[in-house]
Structure 1
Amino acid sequence: MTVEQTQVEESAEQLAPVGRGVELCYQTYGDPADEPLLLVMGLGGPMTWWDPEFCRELARAGFYVIRFDNRDIGRSTKLDSIANARVTFPKLAKAFLGLRVTPPYTLTDMADDAVGLLDHLGVGSAHLFGISMGGMIVQTMAITHPDRVRSLVSMMSTTGRRTVGFQHPSLIPTLLARQVGRQAYVEGSVKIWRLIGSPGFPSTEAEVRKRAEDTYERGISGSAVARQMLAVVSQPDRTTDLRRVTVPMTVVHGLADKMVHVSGGRATSMAVPGAELLLIDGMGHDLPQALWPTYVAAVRRTADRAR
């Protein structure tokens, strides 16, 4: 039986209490005896944006794969009742301009959620793979919980420094557009993915529409996404703290990424001593199937450096 044909054990979705009144919905793929790999998704994305077959490919590469819904997304806890929960457009605008605001929660809180999930699973330390906002979260984990991190892959993300990793100005109206109801969410998703998807590895509109429909049904809330967005735009500059990261790290970024400019990836790799930088022509701000082997190889190569 070839590696590609090997069957992968996968768990049912479960809820894990991770502290501070938050429960995360998670699922695992592979053998618990293998090296744990925590996948952390980006803004507004449930764990289902990590395609199950991609998770299986990572498991076949020797990992015990853990995917989960971040707080406020999917089947994890929605935080509508916490203090300062309502995020207004003026507050987001202030944060975009670099003015001081107090978000309902921070990327550090989200990093602590992920550590709480590792605690729940009895995992002392794990390899981390985060994309976009998830890349910011795993960077934060490496800074605040270095003993829990074996290696780190940060993809299409940035350091939090405002002069790098910026959005293309043409995206801002679409990102801030209000979407009420299933149809509006789906149509808005199709529109944004036309703008930020990989031009060299395009998805079909049917694929994008199906994913948006599944995401909405799983549990999406405009106010919840706004809270995540405020956590992102109010994040601190991690550049100095990243210089103290000692675990193996690979930074992956698309040269056609309009959501997070490639300068964010370059700055991240420059901040972390010994980090590998992998730039991919034609890749935007998504996970095209044609590039899965490249991503799996990068995660495996980075984890092997930890040995």
Structure 2
Amino acid sequence: MSKVKSNGLVLEYETFGTPSDPAIILVAGLGFQLIDWPLTFCKRLAENGFFVLRFDNRDIGLSQKLEEMPVPDLVALGENIKEGTALDLPYILTDMMEDVVGILDALSIDTVHLIGMSMGGMIAQLVAIHYPERLNSLTSIMSSSGSSALPPPSAAATTVLMSAPASEDLSDVVAFGLNVNDVIGSPGYRWNREELTDHIRACVERCYYPAGYVRQYAAVFGSPSRASLLPSITTPTLVIHGTEDPLVLSEAGKETARLIPDAQLELVEGMGHDLSPALCEHLADLILPHIKAS
């Protein structure tokens, strides 16, 4: 793994494949680290003639932490959003968009195929809106326009995500991660339980930083809707969403595809809101024809 200076921050990244091949950047979701993109997925893309880069977003993993910034009060944030009052946030999604563009500049990558999941899909949408000349294709996975008119997460998904343990003991955090996956994971593409346990443990041991998660959460929910901007996207776009996603419901994917001109929509039966290895194999089958044609 390596580090790159981007948008004034030091970000951790890892690459697969040959640098002279067309580039793909994978943008992770809320609280996800670069290792949440399965190795088999990254290698599969690289083996098909692409230079693949996965990275830790700001405030997570081994990338720079914004420790000098406050940790937002999420209850107060929700009230401010509901009342339409001004928000004072550490950063928003357009700042994270500039992180991605900064990686391109620092590594002298002119154009890229951008693949983002969940929050990463939102960031990727913003790159397509503001920097269309830098993209060869866009793939938005289990993501959203951010419109307040979309249906909310299921009660079960909301409850489990709000039940994070106060303890930072490894066993408690791993148990929480397993519980979250039980609720929002893909019923048709389940992890092997032992492999999932090992993966969550590896993520926690690599970096467990709740403050960064909260700041990223605030960036997602404090950023303005992209619904009025998505029709301006000219990049060839693939939208992938699961029919069983209880966190970001499939209506969000349908709306995103409807708003982006000529976007291709793939609704995946049995897919929830995770990146299990089995699911990523299927995602690769959907994504590779799209980026090869772009």
Normalising by the residue count of structure 1, what TM-score does the alignment of the two structures yield? 0.90
Helix, strand or coil: the match of 1:243? helix
Looking at structure 2, the residues matched to 258 and 279 of structure 1 have their Cα atoms a distance apart, in angstroms, of 14
Do the aligned partners of residues 172 and 283 (structure 1) sit closer, same or farther apart at CA in structure 2, a change above 3 Å counting? same
Do the aligned partners of residues 98 and 251 (structure 1) sit closer, same or farther apart at CA in structure 2, a change above 3 Å counting? farther
* Structure 2 residue 32 is matched with structure 1 residue 36: no
Looking at structure 1, the residues matched to 24 and 191 of structure 2 have their Cα atoms a distance apart, in angstroms, of 26
> What percentage of aligned pairs have identical amino acids?
35
- What's the CA shift for 1:89? 3.6
**Superposed CA offset, 1:2-50 (max 9, x none):** xxxxxxxxxxx11111123x11100100011111000001011000001
* Structure 2 residue 11 is matched with structure 1 residue 24: yes
- The answer to whether the Cα contact below 8 Å between 2:38 and 2:280 also exists between their aligned partners in 1 is no
Aligned to 1:81: 68
- What's the CA shift for 1:127? 0.4
Superposed structure 1 runs of 4+ greater than 4 Å apart: none
* Structure 2 residue 197 is matched with structure 1 residue 184: no
- What's the CA shift for 1:165? 5.7
- The answer to whether the Cα contact below 8 Å between 2:6 and 2:99 also exists between their aligned partners in 1 is yes
- The answer to whether the Cα contact below 8 Å between 2:13 and 2:55 also exists between their aligned partners in 1 is yes
* Structure 2 residue 79 is matched with structure 1 residue 94: yes
**Superposed CA offset, 1:63-92 (max 9, x none):** 10000000011000010103xx22124234
Pick the aligned partner of 2:39 from 23, 48, 52.
Answer: 52
* AA at the equivalent of 1:281: E
* Structure 2 residue 70 is matched with structure 1 residue 120: no
Looking at structure 1, the residues matched to 80 and 49 of structure 2 have their Cα atoms a distance apart, in angstroms, of 41
Count of residues in correspondence between the two structures: 291
RMSD in angstroms over aligned alpha carbons? 1.6
Pick the aligned partner of 2:230 from 242, 246, 252.
Answer: 242
Looking at structure 2, the residues matched to 115 and 214 of structure 1 have their Cα atoms a distance apart, in angstroms, of 28
Aligned to 2:197: 209
- The answer to whether the Cα contact below 8 Å between 2:137 and 2:235 also exists between their aligned partners in 1 is yes
- 1:1-307 pair list within 5 angstroms: 13-20=1-8, 22-82=9-69, 85-94=70-79, 97=82, 99-100=84-85, 101-164=87-150, 166-179=152-165, 180-181=167-168, 182-306=170-294
Do the aligned partners of residues 170 and 113 (structure 1) sit closer, same or farther apart at CA in structure 2, a change above 3 Å counting? same
Looking at structure 1, the residues matched to 84 and 231 of structure 2 have their Cα atoms a distance apart, in angstroms, of 26
**Superposed CA offset, 1:202-261 (max 9, x none):** 113322221211111111211110000011111211112110101100000000001100
Do the aligned partners of residues 284 and 218 (structure 1) sit closer, same or farther apart at CA in structure 2, a change above 3 Å counting? same
- The answer to whether the Cα contact below 8 Å between 2:191 and 2:278 also exists between their aligned partners in 1 is no
Looking at structure 2, the residues matched to 99 and 296 of structure 1 have their Cα atoms a distance apart, in angstroms, of 40
Helix, strand or coil: the match of 2:24? strand
Aligned to 1:8: none
Unpaired runs of 5+ residues, structure 2, are: none
Higher mean alpha-carbon deviation, 117-126 vs 93-102, is at: 93-102
Do the aligned partners of residues 37 and 95 (structure 1) sit closer, same or farther apart at CA in structure 2, a change above 3 Å counting? farther
Normalising by the residue count of structure 2, what TM-score does the alignment of the two structures yield? 0.94
